[in-house]
Amino acid sequence: MAFKSDEYYMSIAIELARKAASEGETPVGAVVVRNDGFIAGKGRNSRERDRNALCHAEIAAIDEACRTLGGWRLCGCTIYVTLEPCPMCAGAIINSRLDKLVFAAADPRSGSAGSVADIFGLGYDHRPEIVPGIMEKECKELLKDFFGELRRKNRKMSGIKTVEVKTSEQVKKVAAMADEIWHEWFPSIISVEQIDYMLDKFQSESAIENQLKNENYRYFIVMKGGEYVGYTAVRPDSDGRLFLSKIYIKKEHRRKGYGKAVFEFLKEICRENGLNAIWLTVNKHNDDSINVYKKCGFKIIGEDVTDIGSGYVMDDYFFQLDV
């Protein structure tokens, strides 16, 4: 047996990552190789299948290698992994005394070999040699394809339809939904008097008609089957951004992924119209909505207090998502 190239072993890790993807898992694969070329352990991410946060590719590969080689010390071995290890796996690599870590793609979200933190540089008693970037492009593409496919599937599964508001009948429907949803959603955030004032000013039939005719707004009703699920309103701005004015899902239809599907729809509107970002304002105390926006990748870009008349103000954050 002879040691082959880093690329050779990384290709095996990539095959394992592909297998994980085919099982619906985030594609990550790992291989532990002894310096004479003997493959001591293989692993792939199986967090979903095993419903277990510990089931990362590196942990599985190290586990198998320890059993194959009959000891916890993996001195003289290298681990090849398609993605920069998380803190747990970085810890496992230190604890198993692996000589060397070779990884492909950096992980800006939880990479612990330099991206978020450099656990290996903290001064623990064992420090493996680290080689980043081997077959990086292939692994990045694998992840990108996987998440792209996942988004398409989610949208398809959510099965929503968006219908652009054109008729006064549709305007009436939106105003009715606004009245229902706002009175259910906002009482914990603003007074009922302010809700009524704002509904009249912004979401009455005449207000919506005016926005459509004179203010460049577009309204879309969100439907699932034959049912009205919610609505969204947007306004393309001349600075190249899409202002997301309203996105509301009725109470009984929340937590089904419809909101996320609407965001995907809005991103498509941006792409179709050459817009490069979606921005919105949200009340600073509207914690649930803020969490949803953050989860969807929005970032705070500012804040402001707007006087909307009659002694009411809107105390808002500005959020933006680059498309």
In this complex, which beta carbon is closest to Zn ion, that of residue 66 or of residue 212? 66
Question: Which amino acid, 184?
Answer: E
Q: Which of 20, 33, 86, 249 touches Zn ion (CB under 5 A)?
A: 86
How far is C-alpha 283 from the chain's CA centre? 22
89 binds Zn ion (CB under 5 A): yes
Distance set, CA 46 to CA 11, 52, 171 (Å) = 19, 8, 48
* Stretch binding Zn ion (CB under 5 A), from 49-57, 155-163, 194-202, 302-310: 49-57
56 binds Zn ion (CB under 5 A): yes
The pair phi, psi for residue 116, each rounded to 5°, is -95, -45
278 binds Zn ion (CB under 5 A): no
Shortest distance, position 85 Cβ to Zn ion, whole Å: 5
Question: Which amino acid, 71?
Answer: G
Site string for Zn ion, 245-274 (x = CB under 5 A): ------------------------------
Distance set, CA 298 to CA 14, 278, 320 (Å) = 31, 9, 5
Q: Coil, strand or helix: which one is 323?
A: coil
Catalytic residue among 25, 58, 64, 84: 58
One-character DSSP codes across 134-193: TTHHHHHHHHHHHHHHHHHHHHHHHTEEEEE--SHHHHHHHHHHHHHHHHHHGGGTS-HH
Shortest distance, position 293 Cβ to Zn ion, whole Å: 28
Describe the chain by its helix, strand, coil percentages, rounded to 5. 45, 30, 30
> Is 23 in the active site?
no
In this complex, which beta carbon is closest to Zn ion, that of residue 89 or of residue 190? 89
In this complex, which beta carbon is closest to Zn ion, that of residue 101 or of residue 247? 101
Shortest distance, position 91 Cβ to Zn ion, whole Å: 9
* Stretch binding Zn ion (CB under 5 A), from 81-89, 191-199, 221-229, 244-252: 81-89
In this complex, which beta carbon is closest to Zn ion, that of residue 66 or of residue 88? 88
* Stretch binding Zn ion (CB under 5 A), from 85-93, 165-173, 200-208, 275-283: 85-93
How far apart CA 185 and CA 251 sit, in angstroms, is: 8
List of residues 6+ apart from 287 with CB closer than 8 A: none
Contact of 41 with 29, CB cutoff 8 Å: no
In this complex, which beta carbon is closest to Zn ion, that of residue 88 or of residue 314? 88
In this complex, which beta carbon is closest to Zn ion, that of residue 88 or of residue 131? 88
Shortest distance, position 60 Cβ to Zn ion, whole Å: 10
Shortest distance, position 112 Cβ to Zn ion, whole Å: 8
How far apart CA 46 and CA 17 sit, in angstroms, is: 10
Contact of 178 with 53, CB cutoff 8 Å: no
Binding residues for Zn ion, how many (CB under 5 A)?
4
Site string for Zn ion, 160-189 (x = CB under 5 A): ------------------------------
List of residues 6+ apart from 75 with CB closer than 8 A: 97, 98, 99
Shortest distance, position 38 Cβ to Zn ion, whole Å: 24
Which residues are designated catalytic? 58
User: What is the contact surface with Zn ion in residues (CB under 5 A)?
Assistant: 56, 86, 88-89
